[in-house]
Amino acid sequence: MIIYILLGVLAVLVLWFISTYNFFVSAKGRIKGAVQEIGNQLKRQADLIPNLESSVKGYLKHEKGILDKLADVRREIAQAVASDNVQKMSDAGSKLASILPSIKVVVEDNPELKGSDVVTKLMDELRDTADKIMYARRLVIDLTVDYNVRRQTFPSNFVANMLKLEELPGLITPEKGEHLEVSEAETKTPSIKL
């Protein structure tokens, strides 16, 4: 009788070990895939921007600033993709998102630009491609958090320790610095002068 109970418990333990082991292995695989997806999206963006540039060149003749900014971003993205470095890729991805508002201001200021389909299309495509990279990075962050939490929490930490699994960095963000502090000026409600 006792032997059967022990065998049952053993079987459950073995099954649990297998499923936990498989979780860690597949999580690692997924994270690797998600990182590659960032590169994939950046590549798409790098291919997309020249096309957009050429299609709006005529409209934005007077706004050379926008075209120059786009060209800069494209160059950085190309370098990041070539470097194969997760961190560089991630930084380049946020570059486009950061210049989007300034492009928007230019478009809002020019009624004739705002009305044109080509420019609307440009804005849509830029927002979309920036979103795609944001979500690709989000997946890396989420999967890494999941992996790291399971690695450290009871009882799956036994398996993790046994396999000597290392903590994965995900997307590196400095744990000290400006972005974690709120300055006096930032706490005030922004006032908008028109």
Partner 1 sequence: MINVYEAVSANKTKSYFIVALFFVFVTLVVYVLGQSFGYYLGYAPGGIGYVGLALIVSGLMSLGGYYFSDKIVLSISKARPANRKKDFTFYTVVENLCIGTGLPKPKLYVIDDSAPNAFATGRDPEHAAICATTGLLEKLTRSELEGVLAHELSHVKNYDTRLMAIVAVLVGMVALMGDWFLRTMWWGGKDRDRDEDSKLGAIFIVLGIVFAILSPIIAQLIQLAVSRRREFLADAGSVEITRQPESLISALDKISADHEPLEVANKATAHLYIVNPFKGGISGRGPSTALKMVNQFAGLFNTHPPVSERIKALKTMV
Binding window for partner 1 (CB under 8 A); candidates: 53-61, 79-87, 122-130, 178-186: 122-130
Query: Does position 131 bind partner 1 by CB under 8 A?
Result: yes
- Using CB under 8 A, which of 86, 92, 136, 159 touches partner 1? 136
Distance of CA 82 to the CA centre of its chain: 17
Residue 23 beta carbon to partner 1: minimum distance, rounded to whole angstroms: 15
Q: Which residue has the tokens 């050379």?
A: 64
How many CB atoms lie under 10 A from the CB of residue 83? 13
30-59 residues in contact with partner 1 (CB under 8 A) are 30, 34, 37, 41
Give, as ranges, the residues between 6 and 25 that touch partner 1 (CB under 8 A): none
Q: How far is CA 191 from the centre of its chain?
A: 31
| Residue 140 CA from chain centroid, whole number | 7
With binding defined as CB under 8 A, does residue 132 bind partner 1?
A: yes
Residue nearer to partner 1 on the CB measure, 37 or 91:
37
Nearer Cβ to partner 1, position 41 or 148?
A: 41
Q: Of 138, 35, 48, 27, which Cα lies nearest the Cα of 84?
A: 35
Report the C-alpha gap between 156 and 10 in whole angstroms. 17
Q: For the stretch 158-179, what's the b/e string if a residue is b when 16 or more beta carbons lie within 10 angstroms of its beta carbon?
A: ebbeeeebeebebbeeeeeeee
φ and ψ at residue 107, rounded to 5 degrees: -65, -40
Contacting range for partner 1; rule: CB under 8 A; set: 18-26, 48-56, 129-137, 160-168: 129-137
Distance of closest approach, residue 133 Cβ to partner 1, in angstroms? 9
Q: Which of residues 53-112 bind partner 1 (CB under 8 A)?
A: none
Binding site for partner 1 (CB under 8 A): 30, 34, 37, 41, 124, 127-128, 131-132, 134-136, 138-139, 142-143
